[in-house]
Amino acid sequence: MSRKVIAIIGSPRKGRTFEAVGMFEKRLKELGNIDFEYVFLKDVSLKECRGCGLCLEKGEEFCPLEDNRADIFARMMKADGVIFATPVYSLQVTALLKNLLDRLAYVFHRPCFFHKSFMAVVTQGIYGVEGVLKYLDEVAHFWGFKVCPGLGLTVFWEKPSAADLKKIDDEAEKAAKRFYDSLTRNSDPVPSLKEVIMFRSVRAFHSIAAGFPRDHQYYREQGWLDSDYYYETRLGWHKKLAGRWVERQALKQAMRDKMKLVESRLS
């Protein structure tokens, strides 16, 4: 059985980050049947978010920008695994990658990448890789991915030496194994207490349509308005109990917010 992996490259050049992903790809393909495709953000049309919020409020299909955003999203949805690869730029991801994250920000509201694996590949000159890996893992986690610990590398700007290449290859090999394990594991991770609490408090707002109407509709369509979590899982009694309590508090707050909104519209 072949697994589809898509690597989204956030560097404005085909440099060290691209090479690192290439080594990762080679090692991954040694482990099994992998169909590996690339998206170079430098080569696709992706306009900057204008902040209209229509994707959040009404749905991503209402985004007024005409470019390749929907195509990239569709390709990510077809994949079993997604790689975000970026050099550290000023302690963050590149603007190219950040722009993609902003253009897909509606996924924070309507997560959709469940059962798919994610890994970040980040290169740095000196400092910042840990923070960027943490940031990308958090984004992917919110979006529903099964997050694998990422591949962080310190590389020279110019062509690396043979000894450096060997070190990178060793790290790429380890990362490929982690990613392959995740790709081939059929089970989803059991959510932590914090994740259950997050799910229940967000759901509380959507259940009474206190937030955006599109999110309420999405939660209803997914069956999340009365599920234990985003996907089938076995929760211990303490997680269920804590989740129920938090949701009740969040519901009270959501009702108060909704009343305030109605009052402000009437006055």
Ligand X SMILES: Cc1cc2nc3c(=O)[nH]c(=O)nc-3n(C[C@H](O)[C@H](O)[C@H](O)COP(=O)(O)O)c2cc1C
- If one asks whether residue 149 binds ligand X (CB under 6 A), the answer comes out as no
Q: Which is nearer to ligand X, 128 or 144 (CB)?
A: 128
Question: Which position's Cβ is nearest ligand X?
Answer: 15
Residues in contact with 175: Cβ distance below 8 Å, sequence separation at least 6, in sequence order:
24, 27, 119, 121, 148, 150, 151
- If one asks whether residue 42 binds ligand X (CB under 6 A), the answer comes out as no
- If one asks whether residue 130 binds ligand X (CB under 6 A), the answer comes out as no
Q: Which is nearer to ligand X, 78 or 159 (CB)?
A: 159
Number of residues that bind ligand X (CB under 6 A): 19
Q: Which is nearer to ligand X, 13 or 185 (CB)?
A: 13
- If one asks whether residue 128 binds ligand X (CB under 6 A), the answer comes out as yes
- If one asks whether residue 182 binds ligand X (CB under 6 A), the answer comes out as no
* Distance of alpha carbon 143 from alpha carbon 170, whole angstroms: 29
Residues in contact with 211: Cβ distance below 8 Å, sequence separation at least 6, in sequence order:
109, 205
- If one asks whether residue 88 binds ligand X (CB under 6 A), the answer comes out as yes
Q: Which is nearer to ligand X, 157 or 237 (CB)?
A: 157
Cα 199 to Cα 110, 190, 207, distances in angstroms: 12, 13, 12
| The one among 89, 179, 218, 219 contacting ligand X by CB under 6 A | 89
Q: Which is nearer to ligand X, 21 or 28 (CB)?
A: 21
- If one asks whether residue 126 binds ligand X (CB under 6 A), the answer comes out as yes
* Distance of alpha carbon 172 from alpha carbon 222, whole angstroms: 36
- If one asks whether residue 90 binds ligand X (CB under 6 A), the answer comes out as yes
Q: What is the 3-state secondary structure (H, E, C) of 203-263?
A: HHHHHCCCCCHHHHHHHHHHCCCCCCCCCCCCCCHHHHHHHHHHHHHHHHHHHHHHHHHHH
- Piece of 57-65, 86-94, 212-220, 255-263 that binds ligand X (CB under 6 A): 86-94
Q: Considering Cα of 56, then 62, then 63, then 67, what sign does the dihedral take?
A: positive
- If one asks whether residue 190 binds ligand X (CB under 6 A), the answer comes out as no
Q: Name the phi and psi angles at 135, rounded to 5.
A: -60, -50
Least distance (Å) between residue 88 CB and ligand X: 4
- Burial category of 177 from C-beta neighbours within 10 Å (exposed 0-12, middle 13-18, buried 19 and up): middle
- If one asks whether residue 158 binds ligand X (CB under 6 A), the answer comes out as no
- If one asks whether residue 13 binds ligand X (CB under 6 A), the answer comes out as yes
- If one asks whether residue 91 binds ligand X (CB under 6 A), the answer comes out as yes
> In the complex, which residues of this chain contact ligand X (CB under 6 A)?
11, 13, 15-18, 87-91, 123-128, 155, 157
